[in-house]
Chains A and B, each alone.
Chain A
Amino acid sequence: MHIPDGFLDAKTLITTAVVSAGAVGYGIKRANEKLGERQVPLMGVTAAFIFAAQMLNFPVAGGTSGHFLGAVLAAVLLGPWAACLIMAVVLVVQCLGFADGGLTALGANVFNMGVVGGILCYYIFVVLKKALPRTRSSFLSAVAVTSWFSVILASAVCAIELAVSGTSPLGVVLPAMVGVHALIGIGEAIITTVVVAVVLSTRPALVGSYDLPIIPHPAGGETQ
């Protein structure tokens, strides 16, 4: 989903770059205000974590594989703006270091995975969490649904950007991208939910968006 250079036209590049720059700029402002420099090492390590986790490919079906996106995970743990900032750092480093994702398409890539995958999906998650009963399992269900949806939404936005730029026809690229990513999204949902469950059972206070009373598990192990 890392769009290279030359796939998008000027209007798409500029629009997405402006929105992404605004979101990342606001994220930087919030990070500076809220916790000062204290949060910086934590965000750096989280970025390194997402970077490392993206290297563990998981099988989709018959030879193809997908990898973890991590935007919803970062948002559930650290909040939407920090998640967008972290995704932006990861994408910039991937672009410069691995040439994965084009330099001029950076705005679009941050938009798809940071703004849509992180910020927008966080608010979808909040709405979903409010709609469901206040239990641990419905919290995890909201995480699962949102992370599945985040992959689909990000791929749909990517397809729309390609179509608007005249690179691929919308009628074909949208169903193809969404179809493949509906499958990859299942992997994302399983991984994100399991990670959140693991963190909830070991150090629940780290899950920033978890607002239920924390009851220590008697065995200290993982609750199923």
Chain B
Amino acid sequence: MRHSYLDSFSNLDSPIHRLEARAKIILFFALVVVCVTTPAKAYPAFAGYLLVLLVLLFLSRLPLKHVFKRALVVVPFVLMVAAFIPFLKTGVIGGGYNLGGMTISQSGLLVLWNVVVKSSVGVLSMILLSSTTPFDGLLKGFERLKVPHIFTTIAAFMYRYSFVLVDEAMRMKQARDSRNFKGRWIWDAKVIGHMIGNLFMRSYERGERVYLAMLARGYDGRSRTLEGERISTADVFFVITVMTLVVLVRILGSRGMFL
């Protein structure tokens, strides 16, 4: 069965794909942190971040449709905040809008803008990172950045087995749907409980078998790989350039001197 997976399109070739994993992790993490800590009123700064991301996106040659579809993940949360904006009455200092009996204060709109723009930058950065780096490369990058070994190992196992388990789950779903399951109400959750119980037993027993097989092959808690790629001067230079640009955008944008 096919599933669109975590690191789809990470096998393409582009300048962004070729960057070392550590460089990309640092770059995108820093970009998100700088953006989130920017005051909401620094409008030009956000335009600058989005521009940087768009240039990176263009360089990465990722299909726009894929990026856009992934980015829709934030929509429900944004809608929820948007729905509550009219109730946010703090500091109605004029300049509000009147929409069919509901007043929306300017500070409420500012909250909405803040949420929309920051979550967009966050989502775009993460999509760019995961779509340009194969998952095991990403984990190796984290390991070299001193993330606890046990954490990356659990994540590696999880990634490896998620394909098997998702396949198993999808097969069960297909079997269930072909037997005319029309889950519409909450008490139908019992059927899903049985499916998930079954899934757990199967995955647990698979985990045991895998562990024994690994022990038989000399597993001692470490997965050894050949000495991997070293971070090149060009990568360091690229990261430093983009970061300087982003920090400049933030400083100038916050002062309103940008553009």
Contact = CB atoms under 8 A, between A and B. Distances in A.
A8 B30 CA distance: 17
Contact of A68 (B135, B162, B196): B196
Contacts of A48: 157-162, 164-165, 203
Contact of A5 (B6, B36, B190, B199): B36
A191 B192 contact: yes
Contact of A36 (B111, B200, B221): B221
B212 to A, nearest CB: 10
B123 A99 contact: yes
A96 interface: yes
B140 to A, nearest CB: 14
A30 to B, nearest CB: 10
B169 A4 contact: no
Interface string B206-224: 1110110010000111000
A4 B77 contact: yes
A52 B130 contact: no
11 contacts: A7-B118, A43-B157, A44-B157, A45-B206, A47-B158, A49-B165, A51-B158, A59-B184, A176-B84, A196-B197, A199-B200
B97 interface: no
B48 interface: no
Contacts of A168: 80-81, 84, 87-88
A126 interface: no
Contact of A60 (B33, B77, B186, B219): B186
Interface in A103-155: 103-104
Interface stretch (B147-155, B231-239, B240-248, B249-257): B147-155
A95 B193 CA distance: 26
Nearest to B25: A96
Interface of B: 5-7, 29, 32-33, 35-37, 70-71, 73-74, 77-78, 80-81, 84, 87-90, 111, 114-119, 121-123, 125-127, 129-130, 135, 138, 148, 150-151, 153-162, 164-166, 168-169, 173, 183-190, 192-201, 203-204, 206-208, 210-211, 214, 219-221
Nearest to B114: A6
B153 A58 contact: no
A87 B148 CA distance: 16
B143 to A, nearest CB: 13
Given A41-B157, A96-B130, A171-B87, A53 B199 contact: yes
Interface in A1-50: 2-7, 10, 13, 24-25, 28, 31-32, 36-38, 40-49
B118 A5 contact: yes
Nearest to B152: A89
Contact of A6 (B117, B156, B162): B117
Contacts of B192: 56, 58, 68, 187, 191
Contacts of B5: 97
A145 B156 CA distance: 33
A144 to B, nearest CB: 11
A32 B153 CA distance: 12
Contacts of B116: 6
B168 A52 contact: yes
B88 A191 contact: no
Contacts of B148: 25, 28
A202 B29 CA distance: 45
